[in-house]
């Protein structure tokens, strides 16, 4: 019984650590998505397909996200959406 409780606690704690920002593209267009972590520690570029979602793009406290013509900052537990060429929360 103790082993089952311990395993349950471990699984739930790993789930809490796995928070990271998701980006949803609702447009019928492919975007080059630039993701920059807090303090400019890392910069990554992704190809975000039309009508798709990318999960877990930022695990830092917050990151900035940029596509041509739009930029937004988000915390690691947020989901952001691209709609009509602009970011919305």
- From the number of C-beta atoms within 10 Å of its C-beta (0-12, 13-18, 19+), residue 18 rates as exposed
In a domain? residue 14:
no
In a domain? residue 2:
no
In a domain? residue 6:
no
In a domain? residue 9:
no
Higher pLDDT, 37 or 9: 37
In a domain? residue 75:
yes
The number of folded domains in the chain is 1
Q: What is the DSSP letter of 39?
A: G
pLDDT in tens, 46-64: 999 999 999 999 888 889 9
| Dihedral (Cα; 56, 21, 26, 48), 10-degree rounding | -50
pTM of the model: 0.76
Its domain, for residue 71, covers 20-88
Rounded to whole angstroms, the Cα distance separating 65 from 15 reads 24
């Amino acid at each position: 019984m103790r082993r089952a409780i311990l395993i349950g606690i471990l699984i739930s704690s790993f789930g809490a650590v796995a928070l990271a920002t998701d980006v949803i593209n609702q447009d019928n267009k492919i975007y080059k998505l630039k993701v920059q972590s807090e303090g400019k520690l890392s910069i990554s570029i992704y190809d975000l397909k039309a009508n798709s979602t990318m999960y877990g793009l930022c695990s830092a406290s917050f990151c900035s996200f940029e596509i041509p013509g739009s930029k937004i900052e988000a915390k690691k537990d947020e989901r952001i959406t691209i709609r009509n060429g602009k970011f919305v929360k």
